[in-house]
Amino acid sequence: MALKRHIQHIGIALTQLLNTLLGGWPDESTSSRVYRLERQGRAYAGIARQWIDRLFFWQHEHCRRAYEAERARYQLPPVLR
């Protein structure tokens, strides 16, 4: 179980790095960002969200859930929430 969680943490770090390289906030995932931008009316973000949601086909509405997790601060350790 610890290995699975460690791999998830690496995935979160990589998506935050990608988002930062694309000019986003360093503590936000790429999935969360495209969902947030789509809600702000950016059409290109809607296209990116569709692709990302398809990539994570086993997670229903991946980008929306990533956005909600960011707002709830689930990526933080429990002691910092």
pLDDT tens digits, 11-70: 999 999 999 999 999 999 999 999 999 999 999 999 999 999 999 999 999 999 999 999
Total H helices, total E strands in the chain: 4, 0
Res 79: pLDDT:
83
The domain limits of the chain are: 2-80
DSSP 25: -
CA distance 77 to 59: 22
Q: Map residue 57 onto helix, strand or coil.
A: coil
CA distance 65 to 55: 14
Q: What is the pTM of this model?
A: 0.85
Between residues 3 and 1, the one the model is more confident about: 3
